[in-house]
Amino acid sequence: MKSSLQDSIDKAVVDTIECIKERRLKDSYIAINKRPKAMRSEKSQLISLSIRYHKNVIKQDNCWEWNAAKNESGYGVISYKSRTIGAHRASWLLHKGEIPNRLLVLHHCDNPPCSNPDHLFLGTHKDNSQDAMKKGRLKRNKNK
């Protein structure tokens, strides 16, 4: 069962895509972003995130490659609520909903620029370490 926030996010994404296609979005985007960030509603922040996310992702059959700023590890980054977050976290927010505290958004595909929501799952730091070890991305120190 989807939450009302998730329903609002889903509707915002659909509306955003339709507006982009019809090129009616420019004035709304400018109006939203001229307001001080503290005064923007949750919905307007999600709409702004959705616009910027969909503009910078290349959706392919498999991985959805992030085509904008990346950090030193190759993960896509985007600003949201005055913070820089991973593009894969933005994808989770837009497609699946809130990320519970202390959980990470992990990749099944091990492709840092990928933000395909079907390739993502939630896990703890321990889950991330175990996944990395299992996939051979984390080398165990043999001296211990």
Q: What is the pLDDT of residue 18?
A: 60
Q: What is the pLDDT of residues 86-134, one digit of tens each?
A: 999 999 999 999 999 999 999 999 999 999 999 999 999 999 999 989 9
Amino acid identity at 75:
Y
Q: What is the pLDDT of residue 47?
A: 87
Residue 43 has, within 13 A of its CA and on its CB side, a CA count of: 10
Q: Looking at the structure, give the CATH architecture of the domain made up of residues 59-144.
A: Alpha-Beta Complex (3.90)
Beta-carbon neighbour count of residue 93 at 10 Å? 21
Could you tell me the residue ranges of all domains in the chain?
A: 1-55, 59-144
Compute CA distances 119 → 11, 35, 95, 100, 106, whole Å: 22, 35, 12, 18, 8
> 131 or 26: which carries more pLDDT confidence?
131
pTM beyond 0.75: no
Mean pLDDT of the chain: 82
Q: What is the pLDDT of residues 43-76, one digit of tens each?
A: 888 888 999 999 999 999 899 999 999 999 999 9
Long-range contacts of 4-7 (CB under 8 A, 24+ apart): 5/42, 5/97, 5/98, 6/96, 6/97
Q: DSSP letters along 48-80, please?
A: HHHHHHHHSEEE-SS-EEE-S-B-TTS-BEEEE
